[in-house]
Each structure stands twice: as structure tokens, then as C-alpha cells.
Amino acid sequence: MLTEKNQYSYLRKELLTRFFTFLFESKNPLEINKIPYEMIPSGGDPRRCCIYKDREMIKYRLLSLMGYDLSESFDESPSLYEFFNRCGKDRAPALPPLSVITAACSSCRSKQYRVTELCRGCLARPCQTICPADAISMKSGKALIDGEKCINCGKCRESCPYSAIVYIPVPCEEVCPVGAIIKKEGHAIEIDRDKCISCGRCTRSCPFGAIVEKSHIVPLVAAIKQKKDMTLMIAPSLYDQLPGADSQILAALKAAGFSRVYELQEAAEIVAEEEGKELLERMENGQSFMTTSCCPAYVETVKKHIPELASHVSDTPSPMMAGARILREKYPGTTIVFAGPCLAKKVEAYEKGGVDLVLNFEELGTLLIAKSVEILDYPAAEEVTSFALGRGFARSGGVGKAVKASLEEDIHCSQIDGLSVKTIRLMKTWIKKAPEGRLVEVMACEGGCSRGPCSLNS
Amino acid sequence: MEKIIVEICTGTACFVMGSGKLLSIEESLPANIRDYVEVQPVLCCGLCRDWTNSKPPVVSVAGKMIAGADEEKIIKAVMAALEGGNLC
Ligand code: FES
């Protein structure tokens, strides 16, 4: 993925802030048409061919923030104002959560190895000798790779003493663990819906920002403005994303328009305990292992790519779903909003119901900016870390640890820290040969939720 | 010798827009200037409200304000301040 320090990440947050400000403050809905011009003022440096295209891309991003799907072709001629009038304002947009801005996609060349001008056409020619596909020939004193023959093994690159051979990836394709990027030479990419697990990595890897997610902020602001009873559930990975002590963060979030803020670590501990009981039961019934189920991108992976593993996935609901159940009982009419660093939670919330809206941390952070909520202005209470095990859910290893702690006997627990082509291949073998560990914690994001694609400061 | 003070705003807007990651900038300063720099977190000064003229994150280096600050801009400003004072 791109490092977090990049200009696209700034642009995303700036656009969110401006859109939130428009939603909350603007008396004149026509003002939405101005946002692209404010973001890309005249006379600035264009990022693409010209500022006019830059502005158009801002328009598309706004459409995605309104919940429109951009992958299908649609009539692009209406103004932002007209699109805004028409967009859904009382509920989360339908799945899938991701779409591609075709015009923003740079239609990268298919991944390839290429010989650069650094090649000195040496005597030893290790590249030519080592190539198993006989794809390298010499032309005007330099090595040349025949794309037709090349099998992308990379051996030539490793062998070159001058580092003259480079690998040029297609960034989104490179990070997708399930091969869901359809790449045709000369065309914008498409996402294969049947394969996509909504892990969100591609959205943070594309240097052109061409893959966007549908946001729930329009219905969120509408509900806040209607003064509905709103409950915000926050994932335990939030605390190190914002400045200030936990008590300050909680007070600030409430001030942004929520009736109450519920920290999910409590629900996480209930889940851990349930999962522990479930594990013992399954072992008694002769099952050799069980995997966790709190990571929705992993659950999707099983559904779409390793269905034979389904009977081994825990049936215990995730902390988000467990928390929503508790809250629904206590406050029946409330609008439940989940905030986390995860894109796949949108899929889980939509499919399972119970959670009305899902925000990511970028959206939550920029909501605070737009509402001018100063976190550090709130009093800092003395820190008492409660539910430490539940908080641990944010990092890889934490779920397994919490489940283990709930059990009396010592149970061997292993983990998959990050989904990749390799780890998925490994998981496919588990049906024949049970994995090490009775309990396997699986996290789609390496490092766990706190390193999720939509985090602010991981 | 007096140190160059780098004040980094940790108000909500600046933090969310990237100052959270600038707080550890000392680590990425070139070794020869690291010792001359002192990083201090400060509270919101209100400048972040004006996105046209002073984009967050707002950082000040030896009293000079930098809007839309990033590592590169800060290091440049530190260098300029050092040269101005004939320190190196
Ligand atoms: S948050 Fe930094 S100036 Fe306001």
C-alpha cells in the first residue's frame, strides 16, 4: 500500500471536511457545485492533464461519498446539486461498497519486468542465463525482455549486478489478496464482484485514487440534523488515532452530534468469552480447530474462496454485532453508527442488519473538524484502562489472547496475520491437514484492525 | 546555543490532517541538525479554520508559520532558520 503520508490521503480528508461543512452549514444547496472549484482553484498545478479534469474527478469522488456506484456507466451530465438532490438520505447505500472511477484509472500497463538503460550488456549476462522462459535476447548491446515469453518470475532482476532490471507492478492488483482486479491491457481496471472481499487495500494503493468507497455520511448528517437519537459505537483501535486522553476523545465525539458513545471493548470481551465456550463445545464434538469470525474481510474470503472452511468459522457474532444487539435492547429507537478503520464492516453491517450506518476513521476525524470540536478543550479524566483484553482486539494476536484468557485450560492458539495469496493458499490446505492451534485468529490486515485501510494514524 | 523551536499544533484539525505523524519528526531530521531542534506540541490557534490561506496542519518553526506543513517543509524551514542564525 502507499505510505500514509501522501497527497491523495490529504485530498480525501480535505474533501470530506469540505463536504461535511457543506452538509452541516450550507443554507444554499447549490453551493455543493463550488466544492470542486474550491479544492482545485484556478492557477494551481494540475495533478492530471489539466485542472478541469482534476475538478471533474472531485465531482466523481463526491458522487461516491453520496453513495453512487460509479462502475456502471451512468448519465454524468447533471450537476452535483442535482445528484445531491437525488441521493438517498435516510439509509446506507446498497452494496458493493467499492467502485472504480474509470476516468481516474491510469490504465496501467500490465505488470512486467523491464530492462532499463542502466543495462551495460555485460559479458556474463546472468539474466539471459538464468531466465527459465528463454525470454531475454540482446539488442543493440542491451538485454531485452520478450513480454510474450516472460513468466514474471523475477529471476533476471535478482541476478543483475547493476540493478538494471525493474519490476513495474499494477499497484491495486499487487495488493489484492484474492485476484479480484480485472486488468485488461489498455483498459481501466474493473473489480470482480464475485471475488472481492472488501478488504479495501486497493483503495489505498492506487496512486491515482481511482478506487473509491461509498460513504454513509449523507444519511449520518441528515439524522444528526433531525436530532434523532444517535448512538456511536467505536472500535477499540480508535484511541491512538486522535489526540488527547480517552475521556477527552469520548466527550468530543459526543459533542459532534451523538446522544451517546459506546466503546466496543466491553462487547469484545463478551464475544471472547462466548467464542471460548464455542471452542470447547466444538472440541467436544470432535472438531479439530475453529477460526475467529470478527474480521469481516476474512469471513467474506471464506464465503467466496474457501467455502469448505465455513464449518470451522466461529458462529459467535463480532463485537460490532454484539454491541449493536446490546444497544438495540437498551435504546430501541436509536440510530446505531459504527466507526472503525475497516471497509468490510460496511458489508457485514449491510448483510446482517442491526447497525444502521458505518463510518471510517477518516470520516469520523473530519466530522470533528467540520463541527469545530476541539478534543483537547475537554477535561482529561484520570485514565483507568478497563477492558484491556477487549481493547486488545485492535491488534493482531489480541483476539486469540482474549479468548484464551476466558478459558481455564491452556489452549494452543495460532494466527494468520494478514491475508495474502500465500496465507489463503495455506488456509485452503487446512481441510486436509488441520492447522497448528485449536483456535486460529485470522485478521485480513497485517497488524490487525489498527492497521486497517481507513485508519488515520496507524 | 539556542535551539530552533518547532511548534506542532495538536488541535483536532491539524492532528487529523497529519500533524499526528509530524510529532515524531525529530527522528527523521538529518543527524547534523537534530540537536539544534526542539519539538513542542501546541494547542489550536484557530488558523485551521481558514482553508484558503492556512491549511492544517499548522506548524511554526522559529516563530514562522507554515500552513499545510509536511516533513519536507519543516526541514527546509529549520535549515533556513539555522543558516539565518549562522549556526552551522
Ligand atoms: S487545530 Fe491546529 S490551528 Fe486549529
In this complex, which of A14, A18, A243 lies closest to B15 when CB atoms are compared? Answer: A243
pLDDT at A3 over 80: no
Biggest CA-to-CA distance, chain B: 37
In this complex, which of A365, A372, A376 lies closest to B16 when CB atoms are compared? Answer: A365
Residue B47 CA: which ligand 1 atom is closest? 3
Q: How far is CA A419 from the centre of its chain?
A: 13
Biggest CA-to-CA distance, chain A: 78
Name the DSSP letter for residue A386.
-
Please state the three-class secondary structure of A83-143 as a single string.
HHHHCCCCCCCCCCCEEECCCCCCCCCCCEEEECCCCCCCCCCHHHHHCCCCCEEEECCEE
* Among A31, A35, A25, A26, CA closest to A65: A35
More confident: A4 or B23: B23
Whether B23 and B69 have beta carbons less than 8 Å apart is answered as no
Amino acid B88: pLDDT: 46
pLDDT per residue as tens digits for the range A379-434: 988 777 778 888 888 888 999 999 989 888 888 999 999 999 999 999 999 999 99
Q: Other C-beta atoms within 10 Å of A141: how many?
A: 9
Among A4, A10, A20, A455, pick the best mutation site for testing chain B contact (most B Cβ within 10 A).
A10
Tally the domains of chain B.
Answer: 1
Domain ranges of chain A: 7-105+176-214, 112-168, 220-451
The three grid cell numbers given for residue A166, joined into one nine-digit string: 525493474
Can you give the CATH number for the domain in which B15 is found?
3.40.30.10
pLDDT per residue as tens digits for the range A328-373: 999 999 999 999 999 999 999 999 999 999 999 999 999 999 999 9
- The answer to whether the Cβ–Cβ distance between B16 and A374 falls below 8 Å is no
A116: left (phi over 0), alpha (psi -120 to 50) or beta: beta
Chain B neighbours among A 35-54 (CB < 8 Å)? 38
Q: Which of B51, B58, B59, B65 has the most ligand 1 atoms within 8 A of CB, as the residue to mutate?
A: B58
Name the DSSP letter for residue A266.
H
3-state secondary structure of B46: coil
Among A376, A455, A458, pick the best mutation site for testing chain B contact (most B Cβ within 10 A).
A376
- The answer to whether the Cβ–Cβ distance between A243 and B20 falls below 8 Å is yes
- The fold of the A7-105+176-214 domain, in CATH, is Alpha-Beta Plaits (3.30.70)
Q: Rounded distance, CA B73 to CA B69, Å?
A: 6
- Residue whose grid cell is 478497563: A386
CA quadruple B62, B68, B73, B77: dihedral, nearest 10? -20
Whether A172 and A189 have beta carbons less than 8 Å apart is answered as yes
Residue pairs spanning A and B at CB distance below 8 A: 58
Measured between beta carbons, the chain A residues lying within 8 angstroms of B12 are: 242-243, 252, 365, 368-369, 373-376
Fold agreement (A7-105+176-214, A112-168): yes
- Give the percent of chain A with pLDDT over 90: 87
Q: Rounded distance, CA A203 to CA A100, Å?
A: 9
Neighbouring residues of A5: CB distance < 8 A, sequence distance ≥ 6: B18, B21, B70, B71
- The answer to whether the Cβ–Cβ distance between B12 and A366 falls below 8 Å is no
Mode of pairing for the β-strands spanning A165-168 and A112-115: antiparallel
* Among A444, A205, A231, CA closest to A345: A444
pLDDT at B86 over 60: no
Q: Rounded distance, CA A209 to CA A94, Å?
A: 22
**Count of positions (residues) in chain A:** 458
Say whether residue B21 is in contact with chain A using an 8 A CB cutoff.
yes
CA quadruple A107, A110, A116, A120: dihedral, nearest 10? -160
pLDDT at A458 over 80: no
Neighbouring residues of A102: CB distance < 8 A, sequence distance ≥ 6: A70, A71, A188, A210
Q: How far is CA A1 from the centre of its chain?
A: 11
**Count of positions (residues) in chain B:** 88
Confidence band of B85 (pLDDT split at 50, 70, 90): low
- The answer to whether the Cβ–Cβ distance between B21 and A365 falls below 8 Å is no
Mode of pairing for the β-strands spanning A211-213 and A98-100: antiparallel
Q: How far is CA B40 from the centre of its chain?
A: 9
- The amino acid sitting at A436 is E
Tell me how far apart the terminal alpha carbons of chain A are, to the nearest angstrom: 13
- The number of CA neighbours under 13 Å toward the Cβ of A335 is 24
pLDDT at A190 over 80: yes
**Is CATH 3.30.590.20 the right assignment for the domain spanning A112-168?**
no
In this complex, which of A241, A365, A374 lies closest to B11 when CB atoms are compared? Answer: A374
Q: What are residue B12's phi and psi, to 5 degrees?
A: -55, -55
Q: What are residue A99's phi and psi, to 5 degrees?
A: -145, 165
Q: Rounded distance, CA B60 to CA A338, Å?
A: 36
Amino acid A72: pLDDT: 82
Q: Other C-beta atoms within 10 Å of A432: how many?
A: 7
pLDDT mean over A272-296? 95
- The answer to whether the Cβ–Cβ distance between A242 and B15 falls below 8 Å is yes
- The answer to whether the Cβ–Cβ distance between B16 and A456 falls below 8 Å is yes
Amino acid A219: pLDDT: 98
Residue B12 CA: which ligand 1 atom is closest? 1
* Among B24, B21, B22, B9, CA closest to B56: B9
- The answer to whether the Cβ–Cβ distance between A17 and B51 falls below 8 Å is yes
Q: What are residue B59's phi and psi, to 5 degrees?
A: -135, 145
In chain A, whose CA is at the least distance from the CA of B48? A369
Residue B45 CA: which ligand 1 atom is closest? 3
pLDDT mean over A84-92? 95
Q: Other C-beta atoms within 10 Å of A350: how many?
A: 18
Q: How far is CA A188 from the centre of its chain?
A: 21
pLDDT at A168 over 70: yes
Among B15, B27, B44, B49, pick the best mutation site for testing chain A contact (most A Cβ within 10 A).
B15
pLDDT mean over A37-56? 93
A56: left (phi over 0), alpha (psi -120 to 50) or beta: alpha
Note the ipTM here. 0.90
CA quadruple A262, A267, A268, A271: dihedral, nearest 10? -160
Q: Rounded distance, CA A99 to CA A80, Å?
A: 18
- Residue whose grid cell is 485530498: A11
- The answer to whether the Cβ–Cβ distance between B16 and A369 falls below 8 Å is yes
The three grid cell numbers given for residue A176, joined into one nine-digit string: 489484492
- Ligand 1 cavity residues, CB under 6 Å: B 9, 11-14, 44-48, 56, 58
Amino acid B84: pLDDT: 76
The three grid cell numbers given for residue A75, joined into one nine-digit string: 448519465
Chain B neighbours among A 336-375 (CB < 8 Å)? 365-366, 368-369, 372-375
- The number of CA neighbours under 13 Å toward the Cβ of A173 is 18
Tell me how far apart the terminal alpha carbons of chain B are, to the nearest angstrom: 11
Whether A13 and A366 have beta carbons less than 8 Å apart is answered as yes
A32-36, A45-49, A137-141: least confidently modelled range: A45-49
In this complex, which of B12, B21, B52 lies closest to A375 when CB atoms are compared? Answer: B12
- The answer to whether the Cβ–Cβ distance between B15 and A17 falls below 8 Å is no
Say whether residue A2 is in contact with chain B using an 8 A CB cutoff.
no
Question: Please, what is the average pLDDT of chain A?
Answer: 94
Say whether residue B38 is in contact with chain A using an 8 A CB cutoff.
no
Q: Which of B8, B23, B48 has the most ligand 1 atoms within 8 A of CB, as the residue to mutate?
A: B48
Whether A301 and A197 have beta carbons less than 8 Å apart is answered as yes
pTM over 0.90: yes
B6 CA to middle of ligand 1, Å?
Answer: 15
User: Which domain, by its residues, includes B58?
Assistant: 4-84
